[in-house]
């Protein structure tokens, strides 16, 4: 049975920059795509803070839950041990990807290796989950005066939010690197999803790497799982524009009391209700989505099911299947379609002119 017992019961506020962290979910039962083993314990540069046994035990439990959620949501076996302290890897001499800072003591550790910019991608719920006092860290950075702390939030385990946020986030990163120089430390919570994705997009858009070349370099330095599809789509969005198209999903029948959807553009950790239409005797959801492929699943009276009338994925490694929808833009030219196909293909690269266009776009970007 496909059932997430601890799923959030309130419909999310879509588009909000904040969200509550869901309880541990059994996302493997609904998530498409096979998993690959990519376990990360403690990378080079690890630092461990002294804590009492009770705190260590509590931290271990939180780490176990977080690692489970991360593995199931990301489609790869990923492990994060918060109780072992900050861990990181140099990707380039001037670029580090790692896990979150846990106290002002970690600021001093980064200063010693030349870090001038700490670029934090965490949201408040991420910090609260592990009890990180971000204000103490920021205040200490201000006192030091030789290192800057900056936040650019992206939702955890959410490839759609990553896609939409990448231009704004990389724009901020690019400007900070140009201003501060030195070594830049990019981190999310574990340093395995959001942080490597932002680093890779920066390498692709600004530093001149092809996407695959940058990915290979990143993987050679740190075992991680950046969402390549989100980076590809964000790249195409910048060069061809981010247009949306209206879609309607329908669950037929009036023999149930509630119908909801998870996945789609809100992620597997949230749900959105469908509205019952008496005339059509069906549950409907109308939504505007950017071009792309979206997987989702219905929750009918609490039971996770596929709609047999809509397209379905092939079974993943665990034998589970999702519905999916492919959203295309209306009125695009042949040139735009060919460009998006190239940028979202197997080995995307940018011409000099395209990279210059992206650089200018990011330098002029002002987030609303």
CB-CB neighbours of 76 under 10 Å:
21
Q: Which residues of 105-142 are buried (b: 16+ CB within 10 A; e: fewer)?
A: ebbeebbeeebbbbbbbbbbebbebbebebeebbebbe
Structure tokens given for 135? 């204000």
Question: If we measure between CA atoms, which residue out of 64, 199, 38, 53 comes closest to residue 130?
Answer: 64
Cβ contact 47:109 at 8 Å:
yes
CA angle 168/173/176 to nearest 5° reads: 125
Question: What's the residue count for the chain?
Answer: 368
Q: How far apart are CA 110 and CA 140, in angstroms?
A: 13
Q: How far apart are CA 148 and CA 107, in angstroms?
A: 10
Structure tokens given for 35? 């998993």
CA angle 196/202/206 to nearest 5° reads: 160
Which residues have a Cβ under 8 Å from the Cβ of 207 and sit 6 or more positions away?
214
CB-CB neighbours of 184 under 10 Å:
25
Exactly one of 141, 188, 224, 306 is catalytic; name it.
188
Catalytic, 188? Answer: yes
Question: If we measure between CA atoms, which residue out of 167, 40, 174 comes closest to residue 94?
Answer: 174
Phi/psi at 31 (5° precision): -75, 135
Strand-pair category, 183-187 with 244-252: unpaired
Question: If we measure between CA atoms, which residue out of 117, 102, 129, 115 comes closest to residue 47?
Answer: 102
CB-CB neighbours of 287 under 10 Å:
19
Cβ contact 187:156 at 8 Å:
no
Cβ contact 211:231 at 8 Å:
yes
Phi/psi at 163 (5° precision): -60, -50
The catalytic residues are: 188
């Amino acid at each position: 049975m496909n059932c997430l017992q601890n799923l959030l019961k309130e419909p999310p506020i879509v588009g909000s920059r904040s969200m509550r962290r869901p309880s541990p979910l059994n996302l493997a039962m609904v998530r498409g795509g096979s998993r690959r083993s990519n376990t990360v314990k403690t990378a080079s540069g690890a630092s461990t803070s002294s804590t009492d046994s009770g705190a260590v035990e509590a931290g271990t439990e939180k780490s176990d839950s977080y690692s489970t959620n991360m593995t199931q949501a990301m489609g790869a076996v990923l492990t994060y041990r918060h109780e072992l302290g900050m861990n990181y890897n140099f990707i380039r001499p001037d670029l580090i990807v790692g896990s979150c800072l846990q106290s002002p003591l970690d600021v001093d550790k980064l200063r010693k290796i030349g870090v001038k910019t700490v670029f934090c991608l965490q949201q408040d719920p991420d910090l609260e989950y592990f009890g990180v006092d971000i204000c103490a860290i920021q205040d200490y950075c201000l006192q030091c005066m030789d290192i800057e702390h900056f936040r650019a939030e992206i939702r955890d385990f959410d490839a759609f939010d990553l896609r939409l946020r990448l231009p704004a986030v990389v724009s901020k990163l690019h400007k900070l690197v140009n201003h501060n120089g030195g070594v830049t430390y990019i981190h999310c919570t574990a340093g395995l999803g959001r942080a490597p994705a932002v680093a890779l997009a920066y390498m692709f858009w600004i530093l001149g790497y092809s996407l695959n070349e940058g990915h290979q370099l990143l993987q050679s330095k740190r075992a991680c799982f950046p969402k390549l599809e989100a980076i590809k789509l964000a790249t195409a969005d910048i060069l061809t524009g981010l247009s949306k198209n209206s879609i309607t999903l329908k669950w037929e029948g009036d023999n149930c009391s509630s119908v909801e959807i998870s996945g789609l553009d809100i992620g597997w950790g949230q749900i959105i209700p469908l509205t019952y239409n008496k005339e059509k005797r069906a549950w409907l959801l109308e939504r505007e989505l950017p071009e792309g492929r979206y997987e989702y699943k219905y929750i009918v009276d609490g039971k996770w099911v596929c709609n047999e009338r809509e397209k379905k994925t092939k079974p993943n490694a665990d034998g589970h299947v999702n519905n999916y929808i492919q959203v295309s833009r209306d009125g695009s030219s042949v040139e735009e379609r060919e460009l998006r196909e190239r940028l979202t293909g197997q080995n995307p690269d940018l011409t000099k002119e395209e990279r210059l266009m992206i650089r200018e776009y990011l330098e002029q970007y002002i987030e609303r």
